[in-house]
Structure 1
Amino acid sequence: MDEIYLLDGSCFVYRAYHAIKALITSRGFPTNAIYGFIRMLLKLLKEKDVQYLLIAFDSPHPTKRHIVYEDYKITRPETPGDLPIQLEQIKKIIDAFGIKRIEIPGYEADDIIATVVLNLNNQSITNNIFIVSLDKDMLQLVSDNVKIYDPFSNLIIDRDYVIKKYGIPPEKLNDFMAFTGDSIDNIPGVKGIGEKTAAELMKRYGSVEAILKNLDIIKPARVAELIRKNIDSLKFSRELVALKSDAPIKLQIDDIKIKEQDNDKLTQLFQEFEFSTLLKEVVTKNNEIRNSDAITTIKAGIERILEKIHEKGVFTLTLTENKSDIFKTTSKVINSKDDYTINIGINGDIYEVALQDSKVNKILSLDALKIVYNAKEILKKLKHAGMKLYSPYFDIMIAAYLINPNRGKYNFNEITLEFLGKLYDSLESSNLIMFELYEKLHRELKEKELERLYFDIEMPLIDVLFEMEEAGIKINIDKLEALTKQISFELDKLREKIYGLAGAEFNINSPKQLSEVLYDKLGLKSRKRGKKARSTEMEVLEELSVQHELPQEVINYRTLNKLLTGYLLPLKDHINPATNRIHTKWSQTVAGTGRIVSSEPNLQNIPVKGQWAQLLREVFVPEDGFLFLSADYSQIELRLLAHLSEDPALIRAFKEGKDIHNATASEIFSVNENDVTEEQRRIAKTVNFGISYGISPFGLSESIKIPYEKAQELIDLYFLRYPQVKKFIEESIEFAKENGYVKTLFGRIRPVSEINSQNQFLRSQAERIAVNARVQGTAADIIKIAMVKIHNRIRQEMLNAKIILQIHDEIVLEVKEQLLGRVSDIVQNEMKDFNLKVPLEVNVFTGKSLNL
């Protein structure tokens, strides 16, 4: 017959909670214990093919042990504040799995299991019973047909195992533990008697009663004396450790047979907790896409398709490559019209249209709403096929990102799992899903007041980013090759110099080997303590460079090596040989703040300072007859802090065109602005930017190398001079605590997951995010709006110019030299044209390279 499994749910919930740290939904709900418990449960179900399972939980009410002994389990740490709310959800999930769950007021999980074992044995059940627990108290229940199973070590504990380990059979363990006690549960036992002595006593005399009758002959006498002094504690401990099998439970074996799982309930719960992988593993494999059999794929003429679209007013549009998976080819460029088929979904039917059809553009240019996934990649493919996708279109990927910007991945399956609890299994089913997603996402955009952000900012930006990718940026190949050789030569020289200073060759890139050279061979001393006492971080190397020449040379080596391996070589790998241009990928669904992100390669982190950085920037050049135009917002985040906080002193400083760092230094150091020193301005600059990033006194002290108390004093002085800023910070944090997210000026949502965490570090970090997200997120929105406006103006006036880069607060364009003045005016006007309480300032530079 099938094996029966009895699982100590409370034990495994605690294990799961501590095994996984800081797992929280984008809406701020903790899920580490939930996820860990499900994973443990699934592992058990799969590996043992479990058919009969009961999960027991401790009662939150006092047990008999608590009533007779107030200090029972008093030494255990307090239950984490975010565990009880997870426990309730775990119980719902167990029920949805169709698994029997028992919790009885006044009884612990191990007592419930003991009662169930007795209950089943009284029914002459012949199945093997496995108790899934890590509690050694459960060893008392081991018998010929009852075993303990530890799923983490895959260990099965049977009667022979207990006898071998303790020297006594399981039924004697109650008396054995009466002597040893239990420090975890604060059961005293007999102080001075450990497991070895207790085992010897039990082997010789067999029970507590027999031992008490023979105290006069027990040797050594010290042991007998310890027992005499603790007889009451011994008897009391035996009562406490004994498992109770009197819980009011009556069940048959069929009561614990696993029932059919409730996929709808599991889908709802897994979606709520954002367990997309679990949803795929547990639910969707048993939950086929409904109605897919009713869908048909039709080959029809364009006129018939147009007629159908006019009736509906909305359709889905996808591209398939030779009938392959439509959502796994989004980064591939069309080389031939024969490569792809356009699929039009209307009213549950799919219409296939070959790209060669000359009338395809009629469909692409319709005013009807086109539902798509990853519009930028579709635009790219169609352009290479000589076609264009016209608005209006609804991009499922962008909508999912705005609703949940912390997800990280937005592939089609991940989105359908999160929002619908489904997977597409064919082209036909994807059509239905895209309609469902459109309806669900559009509704959520409206509910969360994200429609303006979506339709007015993010969707128009798709076209801008698409054209930026198509344009790319030109590379001077000769300069790139020359700089690569020069830096390689310099690295060789540095390497030899470092070896000479060290007295031997070693792997400079190995922290372990470098540490041995610095601290063992050269005997240098770091001010760091503990694990960081032998650190090779840049900060520590700078500190050590005053003691010896080698650390500074390592710094120089690392700087050049990063330039070579992090920039020059990747740039070379990404050059389009036909155009000598690099076409980086621009993504708007990566950063939770709303920032645009560059990748393949990343062109947003090109270094600025230093001789080598300047030489690197000389590699990026415009086409002949063109110039680069860089427009950079001046202190946009501080200006937005002034606007959002409505602090009069901060607003006044910006309106009067003051040097804001000088003005802040004047305020916090109580000196005339003309008397502010360079050091005071430097500190004020750090404070200014630090405040907008939610800096802590500790962070400020570390940043400008001052005592913690002095940093706290500077922050206090700042808030004294700018009280509305302090109020803005407090209100931002309070809003985040109540809602689990904050909003930018334009309505962008940024979930702040750990804002109510019990962990002080995580909570403090979340508070900083809550402040910074409003400022930085608003800056990201403004830059996106400015890019769209500039792009549209250039297109309207048919100017020979294009946006090619967006870096931090900077927009870079490639402009025909004769149009430089006109484009510069457009860029500045559009970047400044925002109705804020303080003016936005833009610095413009032009040049023949990025070294502007």
Structure 2
Amino acid sequence: MERGLTMNEKQFQDQKIVLIDGHSILNRAFYGLPDLTNAEGLHTNAVYGFLNILFKILEEEKPEYLTVAFDVHAPTFRHEMYKEYKGTRKPMAEELRQQVPVIKEVLKAMGIRLIEQAGLEADDLIGTLSRRCEEAGMQVVVLSGDRDFLQLATKKVKIRIPKTKQGRTEVEDYLEEDVKEKYQVTPKEFIDVKALMGDTSDNIPGVPSIGEKTATKIIVEYQTIENAYAHVDELKPPRAAKALKEHYDLAQMSKELATINVHADFPYEVEEGKIGELFTAEAYEWFQKLEFKNLLGKFEIQAPASEIEDSFVTVTDPAGMDAVFEKAAGAGTVGVVLERNTENVLPLFAAMSGISGAVLAFSADGKDEIVSIQTGNGISADALMERLSALTESRAQISMFDVKKELPHVRTCRRENFFDVHVAAYLLNPLKSSYEPDDVAREYLDLTIDAKLSEEKKSCYEAYTMYRAADVLREKLKEYGMEALFDEIEMPLVFALFDMEQAGVKVEAEALKEYGQDLGVQIERLEAEIFELAGETFNINSPKQLGVVLFEHLELPHGKKTKTGYSTAADILEKLAPDYPVVSKILEYRQLAKLKSTYADGLVNFISEDHRIHGTFNQTVTATGRISSTEPNLQNIPIRMELGRQIRKVFVPEEGFVFVDADYSQIELRILAHCSDDEALIQAYKEAKDIHRTTASQVFHTPFDEVTDLQRRNAKAVNFGIVYGISSFGLSQDLSITRKEAAEYIDRYFETYPGVKAYLDGEVAFAKEHGYVTTIFGRRRPVPELSSSNFMQRSFGERVAMNSPIQGAAADIMKIAMIRVNQRLREEQMESRIVIQVHDELLVEARIDEVEKVKEILKEEMEHAADLKVPLIADMSVGSNWYEAK
């Protein structure tokens, strides 16, 4: 009798147990989710995905018992030949390996029974438990991504296999009849099918030249490999008969490997798998550490109260408020959190709603004070904001989270007095997807802010975090060499962006409406033309219908069929477009439909009562330091096609103003010349030559004056491609040339500019050694991809290491220019103001009589934003709308 598997059948009758194949589900989660890391740099995507699948299954099955089985990676070799074959198993990715002990600790913290046994694999453990539990009258659910387990399916044993479809996890369910229906064989016969066809993912060799269809046909007719071998001369096709005859020993070994052991000997008491309270205090700590915020809501517990709460005080009278602000004005750093009245307010408008209170945290008389000031009872929101505005002009440093969001409530302030915790945290780790006060508290102060706290208490904790984190973050910025970057670029930028957002940009709503109507007419015309060329009507926006029309009905080449249908991705259609007018028109249709939905129709929703769009410009989103734009994205107004550029005509200046557009010329290539110290590249820029024609002349060994337009275009692609670490494959795709030709172009480029090659190789080597690269201004960009076990990830990491110092420096230079231009316009009390920033471009709404002065300021500040070995050049133009100015 197997140890520890005796059961009281009455006790377990009709109870349900879920058995989980730990490594299989962890592996599926790892490859099904993008990489995630917590503040400590620990990879967490597999653990997060595993837990989500676990909770989904528990919710659906509602079992009384649960056990997770793991391999210990010391397999017993069930066949001598298997030793050699097993050696072909690919090693586990390091990022996944890190997460195996983590998921085990998390499951233990949740009180979940784990089993693993040296000499036994997880499938043997699960197979044995499945049989014994079924014999005791239990319902059994087995969860695994491995179809081997289908052999265990019975009327009471259900196999559940998670699959990812269109980014979502779905689970296929198999009882005995389901296996028969889908695979034409019984669960036991499924073993023989797999043995014949083999399975490389499970290292089961199978019989050469016998695939799934043939294997299934053989077992449907003969039920077992042994019976099929007894009738081997009757097997069809003849090659299958020949293969089985020659490799019968391999077939038998494969069957042995494919068969799950359901009589394994190991200690196990089912009662230990009884599900108790999963959401324990220990598990809560793990979820906090792993930063699984959206799973914390499953816990009914609260984090233990901190001693900090002893310092929480609430003030509701004017005299008390005045006393608090008097004390705060004499403090070194004051953490400030504004509370908003968000009752009956949609989330989108919560940030703009009225102020209901403020919390100040600071040190006074040698002790921490954390004071919540609530409006009402004589304290008005106006009075509160008046006192806060006065505080910002005192000698105290005001530490807040996302200062730009709070500035509309502060009437006057000394801009140099602010410390933005959000911006500092972003600089220290620009790869995180979010930076919230609770993240900062946990990462830098080892403090947990419980999500279940009251709003007032939570605000108190956040204010304390702002106050305490300021010094910690500043020390970290010093350690990383980014203190000057923070003080001289990022903090002043907060106010430049605020001024730009407040100014907004005027949009002619009627012109936008007409533009949309024109697009609608053209879209209808294109739709009719597409239907005529296709010979039928269909939903052009449906990839599935489009794929069938193009690759089945019209029989176009290059059709790639996936599980969900033919791919109609842009890269596939672009290859077909030159030869097939219908495809060309479909691509045009897609562009126009995007223009209409995103811009012609979409922009209308963002026009305010003042007829201007006040978009949001973000400085804590991109890993390289570039500013991004949202609500709406004004940086993504299309310019490559003329019809897209036309939309810029609806962006207009106020009456009495014009637009002045200033654009850096080839800033990234100039930075490359500076950083690489390549003599030839520097000289070309100093001589103010056409850099692309110069490169073409040297790369193609052609006199400068004889360079053709095609050669210049190719050289331009190489110039800009090198900045982004382009490969020969990427360049061949861009230029429609062979990979060999592209490789030759790149080689010739590096022969022409050897300093560039040395610089780029040096950046990759530095990143591999230190884990990050920096811009000339000290901005760090971590490159964790370089340590990945995945070749594609490592290749991406190399491109990041080459490009980030250049693209990041371009972003830094633009920020410096933007800050200085904004300061000059303010200091000289001009009415002109920056209204849009798009990567290397600044758009200024200039009063007509200030145009020349604006141009002078733009030229001075943009071209002298950095002292490079080559000149920075800003091209300028003026227009009565954005289209004309550009």
TM-score bracket, shorter-length normalisation: 0.7 to 0.9
1:375 counterpart = 2:397? no
Name the structure 1 match of 2:316: 299
Alignment of structure 1 residues 688-699 onto 2, 5 Å:
688-699=719-730
CA spacing shift, 1:742–1:47, aligned 2, 3 Å: farther
Kindly indicate whether the alpha-carbon contact (under 8 Å) linking 1:692 and 1:775 is maintained by their aligned counterparts in 2.
Answer: yes
Provide, for residues 606-656 of structure 1, a one-character-per-residue CA deviation record: whole Å limited to 9, x for no partner.
344666556543333323333322221111000011112222221222122
CA spacing shift, 1:106–1:727, aligned 2, 3 Å: farther
Secondary structure of residue in 1 paired with 2:714? helix
CA spacing shift, 1:828–1:135, aligned 2, 3 Å: closer
Which one of 701, 710, 713 corresponds to residue 679 of structure 1? 710
Kindly indicate whether the alpha-carbon contact (under 8 Å) linking 1:631 and 1:812 is maintained by their aligned counterparts in 2.
Answer: yes
CA spacing shift, 1:429–1:178, aligned 2, 3 Å: closer
Name the structure 1 match of 2:381: 355
CA positional deviation for 1:70: 2.3
Q: Give the whole-Å Cα distance in 2 for the aligned partners of 1:369 and 1:785.
A: 23
CA positional deviation for 1:533: 8.9
Name the structure 2 match of 1:844: 876
Name the structure 2 match of 1:404: 429
Q: Give the whole-Å Cα distance in 2 for the aligned partners of 1:135 and 1:547.
A: 44
Deviates further, 833-842 or 753-762: 753-762
Name the structure 2 match of 1:650: 681
Alignment of structure 1 residues 157-196 onto 2, 5 Å:
184=202, 186=204
Alignment of structure 1 residues 591-740 onto 2, 5 Å:
591-608=622-639, 612=643, 615-740=646-771
Q: Give the whole-Å Cα distance in 2 for the aligned partners of 1:466 and 1:541.
A: 41
CA positional deviation for 1:463: 0.9
Name the structure 2 match of 1:106: 119
CA positional deviation for 1:545: 6.0
CA spacing shift, 1:326–1:831, aligned 2, 3 Å: farther
1:297 alignment partner AA: T
Name the structure 1 match of 2:70: 57
1:435 counterpart = 2:453? no
Deviates further, 700-709 or 449-458: 449-458
Deviates further, 424-433 or 192-201: 192-201
TM (norm. structure 1) is 0.80
CA spacing shift, 1:581–1:139, aligned 2, 3 Å: closer
Q: Give the whole-Å Cα distance in 2 for the aligned partners of 1:513 and 1:119.
A: 49
Name the structure 1 match of 2:8: none
1:315 counterpart = 2:325? no
Q: Give the whole-Å Cα distance in 1 for the aligned partners of 2:234 and 2:540.
A: 62
1:287 counterpart = 2:315? no
CA spacing shift, 1:325–1:765, aligned 2, 3 Å: farther
2:316 alignment partner AA: K
Name the structure 2 match of 1:33: 46
CA spacing shift, 1:808–1:237, aligned 2, 3 Å: closer
CA positional deviation for 1:67: 5.8
Name the structure 2 match of 1:243: 261
Secondary structure of residue in 1 paired with 2:625? coil
CA positional deviation for 1:762: 4.0
Name the structure 2 match of 1:820: 851
CA spacing shift, 1:767–1:128, aligned 2, 3 Å: same
Deviates further, 436-445 or 801-810: 436-445
1:150 counterpart = 2:150? no
CA spacing shift, 1:136–1:97, aligned 2, 3 Å: same
Provide, for residues 635-683 of structure 1, a one-character-per-residue CA deviation record: whole Å limited to 9, x for no partner.
1000011112222221222122222112211211122323322222121
1:9 counterpart = 2:22? yes
CA spacing shift, 1:554–1:790, aligned 2, 3 Å: same
Which one of 422, 447, 468 corresponds to residue 500 of structure 2? 468
1:593 alignment partner AA: T
Kindly indicate whether the alpha-carbon contact (under 8 Å) linking 1:115 and 1:246 is maintained by their aligned counterparts in 2.
Answer: yes
1:452 counterpart = 2:484? yes
Q: Give the whole-Å Cα distance in 2 for the aligned partners of 1:500 and 1:107.
A: 64
Kindly indicate whether the alpha-carbon contact (under 8 Å) linking 1:44 and 1:151 is maintained by their aligned counterparts in 2.
Answer: no
Kindly indicate whether the alpha-carbon contact (under 8 Å) linking 2:665 and 2:873 is maintained by their aligned counterparts in 1.
Answer: yes
CA spacing shift, 1:112–1:681, aligned 2, 3 Å: same
Secondary structure of residue in 2 paired with 1:407? coil
Deviates further, 290-299 or 671-680: 290-299
Kindly indicate whether the alpha-carbon contact (under 8 Å) linking 1:31 and 1:273 is maintained by their aligned counterparts in 2.
Answer: yes
CA spacing shift, 1:636–1:560, aligned 2, 3 Å: same
Name the structure 2 match of 1:342: 358
Which one of 277, 289, 294 corresponds to residue 277 of structure 1? 294
Deviates further, 724-733 or 508-517: 508-517
Cα RMSD for the two superposed structures: 5.1
Q: Give the whole-Å Cα distance in 2 for the aligned partners of 1:715 and 1:165.
A: 52
Kindly indicate whether the alpha-carbon contact (under 8 Å) linking 1:20 and 1:33 is maintained by their aligned counterparts in 2.
Answer: yes
Kindly indicate whether the alpha-carbon contact (under 8 Å) linking 1:33 and 1:83 is maintained by their aligned counterparts in 2.
Answer: yes
Name the structure 2 match of 1:87: 100
Secondary structure of residue in 2 paired with 1:595? coil
Q: Which of the pair has more CA radius of gyration?
A: 1
1:459 alignment partner AA: M
Deviates further, 38-47 or 313-322: 38-47
1:598 alignment partner AA: S
Deviates further, 308-317 or 253-262: 253-262
Name the structure 2 match of 1:530: 560
CA spacing shift, 1:166–1:793, aligned 2, 3 Å: closer
Secondary structure of residue in 2 paired with 1:106? coil
CA positional deviation for 1:229: 11
TM (norm. structure 2) is 0.78
Name the structure 2 match of 1:788: 819
Q: Give the whole-Å Cα distance in 2 for the aligned partners of 1:551 and 1:120.
A: 58
Kindly indicate whether the alpha-carbon contact (under 8 Å) linking 1:527 and 1:533 is maintained by their aligned counterparts in 2.
Answer: no
CA spacing shift, 1:564–1:82, aligned 2, 3 Å: closer
Kindly indicate whether the alpha-carbon contact (under 8 Å) linking 2:401 and 2:420 is maintained by their aligned counterparts in 1.
Answer: yes
CA spacing shift, 1:493–1:365, aligned 2, 3 Å: same
Residue ranges of structure 1 left out of the alignment (5+ in a row): none
Secondary structure of residue in 1 paired with 2:626? coil
CA positional deviation for 1:473: 1.8
1:322 alignment partner AA: N
Secondary structure of residue in 2 paired with 1:628? strand
Q: Give the whole-Å Cα distance in 2 for the aligned partners of 1:518 and 1:828.
A: 52
Kindly indicate whether the alpha-carbon contact (under 8 Å) linking 1:274 and 1:418 is maintained by their aligned counterparts in 2.
Answer: no
Secondary structure of residue in 2 paired with 1:296? strand
CA positional deviation for 1:841: 1.2
Q: Give the whole-Å Cα distance in 2 for the aligned partners of 1:86 and 1:674.
A: 60
2:483 alignment partner AA: E
CA spacing shift, 1:231–1:495, aligned 2, 3 Å: closer
1:403 alignment partner AA: L
CA positional deviation for 1:316: 2.8
CA spacing shift, 1:659–1:265, aligned 2, 3 Å: farther
CA positional deviation for 1:84: 2.8
Kindly indicate whether the alpha-carbon contact (under 8 Å) linking 1:417 and 1:423 is maintained by their aligned counterparts in 2.
Answer: no
Kindly indicate whether the alpha-carbon contact (under 8 Å) linking 2:359 and 2:459 is maintained by their aligned counterparts in 1.
Answer: no
Secondary structure of residue in 2 paired with 1:803? strand
